[in-house]
């Protein structure tokens, strides 16, 4: 049985993803003739994650998972990291899948990102291909707009169809 | 002794390095929505099983997220954003500053790919044509990388192949390892020169 939990021998090696986490607060300062332009202080410009906490005022706690290669098993596993995102309208609920954009300047000690858009709102997922509301593998809204008159009863519909019993029975082969 | 798992070839470096898709610099996030049951999602499931490790290996800085059973039909979604371009500033600093600001605008475009009913190879090819670097570009990059590491250059082991010509087979080795023949030593030659002068 292959256990899906990688063991601790990867501690010594630095993955590209670990380099990303360690250099997270890289400051790009450039002094030109007295003017200093500060670039975004985070390496991750655009990230997608799931909201796990909204107890802070105007801030959402977002869990971002990235695939990291285990060096011995050579298999990719999800590695989690929590980011704090500025959400001015407090429109996030726990469980939303959210797209974050890096802020040009750090908003506070931990908040480096802001909410760009809510990709999938929990309970109100909209299928991007059709634009209809969806719940799991079921559509909540009908796909085609029904052009039929719903008032017409079934009996009238049957009368419209001409079904008559045939007199000669079908020939048996 | 066989490898463990269903298709353990997926867990070999050779397989991972054979990935064809190298994304363009603008691609930041890739999202795959697929279903665990159903024939129409079969291609998407195979794509996730076989090709996602290859894509992630070739693009370590792209965030890939998988979502299961969220929508009835499977699809791929890519989130693009322009990358920063570092410029060197000079006397005309104000103009350059404005140029940098213009280039740093990321629009956050999204690309939606419907993969319902498609085979995983078709999906891979489609993704390669729309968002992957073309073969020509990849070859040019490989060539440029080769040019940087010229085997004709000597230097520290970290950057170059060899440190000294004496490391090459067939060349005179360092006297520290193998003593030089008597005729090549400096003191013998000096002695000969002195003897011939007299």
**Domain edges within chain A:** 2-38, 46-122, 124-163
Contacts of A138 in chain B (CB under 8 A): 72
Mean pLDDT of A129-136: 92
Asked if B46 and B120 count as a contact pair (C-beta separation under 8 A), the reply is: yes
pLDDT of residue B1: 80
**SS3 label, residue A139:** strand
pLDDT of residue A129: 92
Give the pLDDT band of residue B150 (cuts 50, 70, 90). confident
Contacts of A96 in chain B (CB under 8 A): none
Asked if residue A19 has pLDDT above 90, the reply is no
Asked if residue A120 has pLDDT above 90, the reply is yes
What's the pLDDT tens digit per position in B10-34? 999 999 999 999 999 999 999 999 9
pLDDT of residue B148: 82
Instruction: Give percent above pLDDT 90 in chain A.
Output: 54
Q: Which two tokens stand for residue A33?
A: 């003739």
pLDDT of residue A40: 59
Q: How far is A77 from chain B (nearest CA, A)?
A: 10
Indicate the fold that domain A46-122 takes in CATH.
OB fold (Dihydrolipoamide Acetyltransferase, E2P) (2.40.50)
pLDDT of residue A27: 43
Instruction: Transcribe A152-164 into DSSP letters.
Output: S-HHHHHHHS---
pLDDT of residue A168: 66
Give the pLDDT band of residue A164 (cuts 50, 70, 90). confident
The answer to whether A100 contacts chain B (CB < 8 Å) is no
Q: Considering CB atoms only, which of B61, B65, B72 is closest to A137?
A: B72
In the beta sheet, which residues pair with residue A35?
A32
Q: How far is A124 from chain B (nearest CA, A)?
A: 11
Contact A45 B106 (CB under 8 A): yes
Q: How far is B43 from chain A (nearest CA, A)?
A: 17
Flag the least confident range among A18-27, A69-78, B28-37, B121-130: A18-27
Flag the least confident range among A133-137, B90-94, B108-112, B183-187: B90-94
Residues in chain B, total: 198
The answer to whether B7 contacts chain A (CB < 8 Å) is no
The answer to whether A77 contacts chain B (CB < 8 Å) is no
- Going by DSSP bridges, is the β-strand pair A76-86/A111-120 parallel, antiparallel, or unpaired? parallel
- Radius of gyration over alpha carbons of chain A, in Å? 28
Contact A128 B112 (CB under 8 A): yes
Q: Nearest residue on chain A to B72, judged by CA atoms?
A: A137
Contact B60 A134 (CB under 8 A): no
Give the residue among B74, B66, B78 at the shortest CA–CA distance from B34: B74
What's the pLDDT tens digit per position in A47-86? 999 999 999 999 999 999 999 999 999 999 999 999 999 9
Q: How far is B12 from chain A (nearest CA, A)?
A: 7
The answer to whether B100 contacts chain A (CB < 8 Å) is yes
What's the pLDDT tens digit per position in A63-72? 999 999 999 9
Establish, for the pair of chains A and B, how many residue pairs have beta carbons separated by less than 8 Å.
Answer: 100
Contact A64 B4 (CB under 8 A): no
What's the pLDDT tens digit per position in B55-96? 999 999 999 999 999 999 999 999 998 765 444 444 455 565
Asked if residue A160 has pLDDT above 70, the reply is yes
Contact B13 A74 (CB under 8 A): yes
Asked if B20 and B53 count as a contact pair (C-beta separation under 8 A), the reply is: no
Give the pLDDT band of residue B108 (cuts 50, 70, 90). confident
The answer to whether B84 contacts chain A (CB < 8 Å) is yes
pLDDT of residue A161: 83
Q: What is the mean pLDDT of chain B?
A: 88
Mean pLDDT of A112-117: 94
CA separation, residue B75 to residues B42, B114, B117 (Å):
12, 4, 10
Asked if residue A146 has pLDDT above 90, the reply is no
Give the residue among B109, B124, B135, B108 at the shortest CA–CA distance from B32: B124
pTM of the model: 0.70
pLDDT of residue A158: 81
Contacts of A113 in chain B (CB under 8 A): none
Spatial CB neighbours of A43, under 8 Å, sequence gap ≥ 6: A20, A23, A24, A26
pLDDT of residue A34: 47
Give the residue among B9, B8, B24 at the shortest CA–CA distance from B138: B24
Flag the least confident range among A128-132, B41-45, B96-100: B96-100
Give the pLDDT band of residue A142 (cuts 50, 70, 90). confident
Contacts of A69 in chain B (CB under 8 A): 53, 56-57
């Amino acid at each position: 049985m292959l256990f899906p939990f990688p063991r601790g021998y990867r501690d010594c090696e630095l993955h590209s993803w670990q380099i990303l986490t360690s250099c997270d607060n890289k400051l790009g300062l450039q002094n030109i003739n007295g003017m200093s332009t500060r670039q975004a202080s985070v390496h991750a410009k655009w990230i997608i994650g799931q909201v796990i906490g909204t107890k802070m005022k105007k801030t959402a706690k977002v869990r971002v998972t990235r695939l990291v290669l285990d060096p011995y098993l050579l298999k990719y596993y999800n590695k989690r990291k929590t980011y704090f995102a500025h959400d001015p309208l407090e429109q996030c609920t726990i469980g939303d899948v959210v797209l974050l954009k890096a802020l040009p300047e750090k908003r506070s000690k931990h908040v480096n990102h802001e909410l760009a858009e809510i990709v999938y709102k929990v309970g109100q997922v909209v299928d991007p291909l059709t634009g209809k509301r969806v719940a799991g593998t079921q559509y909540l809204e009908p796909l085609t707009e029904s052009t039929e008159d719903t008032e017409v009863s079934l009996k009238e519909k049957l009368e419209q169809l001409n079904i008559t019993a045939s007199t000669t029975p079908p020939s048996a082969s | 002794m066989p490898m463990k798992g269903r298709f353990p070839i997926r867990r070999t470096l050779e397989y991972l390095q054979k990935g064809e898709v190298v994304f363009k610099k603008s691609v930041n996030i890739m999202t795959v929505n697929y279903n665990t049951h159903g024939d129409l999602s079969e291609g998407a499931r195979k794509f996730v099983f076989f090709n996602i490790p290859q894509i992630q290996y070739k693009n370590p800085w792209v965030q890939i997220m998988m979502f299961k059973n969220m929508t009835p039909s499977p699809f791929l979604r890519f989130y693009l954003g322009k990358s920063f371009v570092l410029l060197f500033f000079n006397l005309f600093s104000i103009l350059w500053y404005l140029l940098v600001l213009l280039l740093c605008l990321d629009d956050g475009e999204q690309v939606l790919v419907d993969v319902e009913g498609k085979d995983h190879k078709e999906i891979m090819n489609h993704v390669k044509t729309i968002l992957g670097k073309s073969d020509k570009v990849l070859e040019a990059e490989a060539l440029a990388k080769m040019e940087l590491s010229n085997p004709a250059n000597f230097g520290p082991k970290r950057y170059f192949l060899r440190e000294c010509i004496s490391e090459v087979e067939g060349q005179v080795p360092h006297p520290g390892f193998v003593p030089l023949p008597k005729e090549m030593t400096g003191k013998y030659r000096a002695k000969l020169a002195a003897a011939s002068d007299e």
